[in-house]
Structure 1
Amino acid sequence: MKELSRKERERLRRRELIIDVAEEVIHQHGFKSSTMEQIAEGAELGKGTLYLHFKSKVSIYLAICDRGSKKLNRELAKVLATELSGLEMVREIGYTYLRFIQKNPLYFSAFNYYENILDDDKYNDSPMIKVCEENAREAMTYIVRAMQIGIQDGSIDGGINPKELGLVMWGASKGVVHVALLKNKRRHMAILDDVEFSFDSLMESFIQLMSSGIKNDRQSEKV
């Protein structure tokens, strides 16, 4: 690998600093209320310098999405390196994702923002959109691979379609997180107050439901 020049290293260091500051600013003020001025001030940079690295607040938010998804993927990859059964891997991937989002709700918001602008033609040629897309594909491969391992070792029902169930798991987990985070908002649907739950209890119920749905019951009976 080619060694980076001092100028290139400095540029990368400054870019990471901008993303660090942007995470703090957006966490504090929300994406809509945050400004490039606030980010530039927090990074102790002139606006002109900030714009050399990021052309807009959207591009910074996509960089946050990229950072968050890469961090998440590293955690998911660790699960695939364990000696767990496929079913246990799927469960642990679920726990890993939910714990990650509980600890980093800003990344969840950035993931959702990226997904919401995919239908906007003006972002069709955005390099960061493509990077975020590849990160999402990588995350899905971990889910699918865990299910394939489970089918091979007999812990997961062989009649399931790993790719289709991977999408179900991904979509359902996003819904569970959305509901859990909604309750933390000052204004939320009254129905959320009719049920006693916490993020952890909702997470556990979801993982248990998901596991029972894909488990190979015949294998369990043999054991």
Structure 2
Amino acid sequence: MSLKERKEREKEERRKQILDAARALLFEKGLNATSMNQIAKQAEIGVATIYFYYRSKEDLFAALQVEGLNLLYLKLEKACEKETDPAIKLKTAAQVYLKFSRDNKDYFDIINYFLSAPDQIFTPDLKGQVDRHGNIIIAIIEKYIKEGMESHIFKRVDSKRHSVLFWATLYGLTHFKKLKNTILKGETFKDLFEYGVNNFILTLMA
């Protein structure tokens, strides 16, 4: 390994160390109660080192948000790359999202945490950065819907709006899981989730 490669690897390891510490503190203390000094202490590094990588606390948390969105995007692409039926792609994407909410709960919670009030948390520049990555997630679903329209499996619809509605449906359904012992008592969440996804797809069918 060359010196340049070693330095790049060390930078990535240090960046991961910082993000891991920030992620842990975010859920322990919340955004406002977490400081750069606390993150430095948790990561066992100097606070100046953090500022070498990130300009501010908000910059650091935006990086976490982007990291989570990128991970979800890669999982979606990998799961759907061999599928040819657009309806199956949407069903697969829904299952990827559900699995992501369980297997990558930290990232899932971070994405939802910052979606709640992005204008209050991020500067316009950082919000734009996060939005660009979020739009990639929306675009992949829009692509599947367009494929369905082009192959006459789906009727003609506003693909952008329906891709947003698709994610809104999944978002709402996953949050309903918390109600499994109250209003969802007697019904399995898995069945409800699949029912919701299947009915959304039915509205698209030609």
Using the size of structure 2 for normalisation, the TM-score is 0.81
Name 2:42's counterpart in structure 1.
Answer: 42
Question: Shift in Å at residue 88 of structure 1?
Answer: 0.8
Q: In the alignment, is residue 211 of structure 1 matched against residue 201 of structure 2?
A: yes
Q: In the alignment, is residue 60 of structure 1 matched against residue 60 of structure 2?
A: yes
- Cα distance 1:40–1:183, how it changes in 2: closer, same or farther (>3 A)? farther
In 2, the alpha carbon distance for the partners of 1:37 and 1:52 equals: 14
Name 1:155's counterpart in structure 2.
Answer: 153
In 2, the alpha carbon distance for the partners of 1:4 and 1:17 equals: 20
- Cα distance 1:179–1:83, how it changes in 2: closer, same or farther (>3 A)? closer
Name 1:139's counterpart in structure 2.
Answer: 137
Name 2:11's counterpart in structure 1.
Answer: 11
In 1, the alpha carbon distance for the partners of 2:22 and 2:130 equals: 18
In 1, the alpha carbon distance for the partners of 2:167 and 2:5 equals: 40
Indicate conservation of the 8 Å contact 1:64/1:110, yes or no.
yes
Q: Report 1:19-34 matches (<5 A).
A: 19-34=19-34
Name 2:182's counterpart in structure 1.
Answer: 193
Instruction: Give the partner amino acid of 1:130.
Output: G
Name 1:98's counterpart in structure 2.
Answer: 98
Question: Shift in Å at residue 122 of structure 1?
Answer: 6.6
- Cα distance 1:73–1:155, how it changes in 2: closer, same or farther (>3 A)? same
In 1, the alpha carbon distance for the partners of 2:93 and 2:48 equals: 42
Question: Shift in Å at residue 68 of structure 1?
Answer: 0.6
Using the size of structure 1 for normalisation, the TM-score is 0.76
Bigger RCO of structures 1 and 2 (CA < 8 A, at least 6 apart): 1
In 2, the alpha carbon distance for the partners of 1:148 and 1:57 equals: 39
Name 1:221's counterpart in structure 2.
Answer: none
Indicate conservation of the 8 Å contact 1:144/1:162, yes or no.
yes
- Give CA deviations for 1:88-132 in whole Å, capped at 9, x if unaligned: 111111111122122223323322343344434970133xx3332
Name 1:187's counterpart in structure 2.
Answer: none
CA RMSD of aligned residues (A): 2.8
Range 168-177 or range 115-124, more displaced = 115-124
Indicate conservation of the 8 Å contact 2:80/2:92, yes or no.
no
Question: Percent identity of the aligned residues?
Answer: 23
